[in-house]
Amino acid sequence: MKNINTSKAPGAIGPYVQAKLVGNFLFTSGQIPVNPETGVIPEGIEAQTEQAMKNIKAIVEEAGGKMDDVVRTLCFLSDMGNFAVFNKVYEKFFPTDKPARSCVAVKEIPKNCMVEVECIAYIKP
């Protein structure tokens, strides 16, 4: 078991790590849309989804994988009215091999974000 941390995604804001690599399986913590360079959370669901997915991608790549290695995502939206816009941006990160997914609305996301995404990836040896 190995902790995965990268400066290309925001650091943990609590007692957890960005991800754990267990054998070939990567389990990420939920990623909110914080820009790791500036600490800024962009405005709007489109920009927030883009940043959250960039954070997921950075962690997957730090573990030696690519987005095609993602087998499952769990996505949290603060408002299901944003589902269509979220999907439009999310899909760009999985152009060829889409993972299994759950997407749910929740009452609140840390830092009043509109989206949070976590994933499980199988990093090929």
**Active centre residues (catalytic):** 103
C-alpha dihedral (64, 24, 98, 6), degrees to nearest 10:
-40
d(CA 31, CA 38): 16
